[in-house]
């Protein structure tokens, strides 16, 4: 399995951490390659060039963004999910993790994660039924390559590439997408010690804390400090609702 690591910068430390995590948790036949825009290119043009270079692959490949983490169960879970989808009609895009943006589905999936882990299973879910963004590791099927190539032309950063080329076509039903749950991969801890006033930025942090809590190799305990920071400044009503949801989830 080939994995292209999309990098907006040439930071050697970020690349070294990505390689170390990847090689720790993947078999020898999984390969990783860093890909970034060359001088004079924006991220959208680099994406177009990458898919032209990929051409007509015989097997699916991965696209990963900065800060993404693999764990002990990641590779087997991804490979099993690909095999299942190929036997049941195929797919265009498979997300190993993503950011959920609606509280209702997040609560439902929290309970589902427990049941699936106890049974040693995962589920492949259509993300169109819920708000989502920012998949960190995506599997691209060969049949989708030609359609994806031009979708992000003009994008300045790879985050915009992911939104325009991977998320939008799935939301609109132009491409068939599924996500693995519990997530097969996650992302490294960001700066969760500061809770921004901007609602969109705050919601992104909430989504990413949740993403780290519900991946297959994760859990809630490592995120307690970040959650405590997030709770500061919440209204009494919001805290009361959170306690009620927690009681339902436990």
pLDDT single digits (tens) 38-50: 888 999 999 999 9
For the residues 224-246, what does the mean pLDDT come to? 69
CATH number of the domain enclosing 198: 3.90.550
- Whether 51 and 143 have beta carbons less than 8 Å apart is answered as no
What's residue 200's pLDDT?
A: 80
pTM of the model: 0.90
pLDDT tops 70 at residue 193? no
Strands in the chain per DSSP E: 2-6, 31-35, 61-65, 68-70, 93-95, 99-100, 123-125, 132-133, 137-140, 177-181, 185-187
Name the domain count of the chain. 1
Radius of gyration of the chain (CA): 18
Q: Residue 118 belongs to what domain range?
A: 2-249
Which of the four pLDDT bands, split at 50, 70 and 90, describes residue 76? very high
DSSP 182-219: SBSEEE-----SS--SSHHHHHHHHHHHHHHHSBTT--
């Amino acid at each position: 399995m080939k994995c292209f690591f999309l990098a907006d910068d040439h930071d050697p430390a970020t690349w070294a951490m990505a390689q170390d995590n990847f090689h720790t948790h993947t078999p020898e036949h999984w390969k990783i390659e860093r890909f970034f825009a060359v001088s004079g290119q924006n991220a959208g043009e680099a994406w177009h060039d990458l898919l032209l270079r990929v051409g007509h692959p015989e097997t699916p490949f991965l696209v990963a963004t900065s800060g993404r983490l693999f764990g002990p169960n990641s590779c087997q879970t991804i490979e099993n999910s690909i095999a299942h989808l190929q036997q049941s009609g195929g797919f265009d895009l498979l997300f190993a993790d993503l950011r959920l943006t609606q509280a209702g589905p997040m609560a439902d999936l929290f309970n589902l994660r427990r049941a699936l882990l106890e049974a040693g299973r995962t589920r492949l879910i259509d993300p169109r039924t819920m708000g989502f963004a920012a998949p960190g590791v995506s599997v691209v099927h060969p049949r989708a390559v030609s359609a994806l190539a031009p979708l992000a032309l003009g994008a300045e950063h790879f985050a915009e590439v992911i939104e325009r080329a991977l998320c939008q076509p799935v939301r609109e039903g132009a491409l068939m997408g599924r996500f693995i749950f519990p997530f097969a991969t996650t992302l490294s801890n960001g700066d969760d010690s500061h809770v921004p006033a901007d609602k969109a930025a705050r919601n992104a942090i909430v989504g990413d804390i949740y993403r780290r809590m519900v991946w297959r190799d994760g859990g809630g305990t490592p995120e307690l400090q970040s959650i405590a920071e997030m709770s500061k400044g919440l209204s009494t009503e919001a805290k009361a609702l959170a306690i009620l949801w927690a009681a339902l989830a436990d």
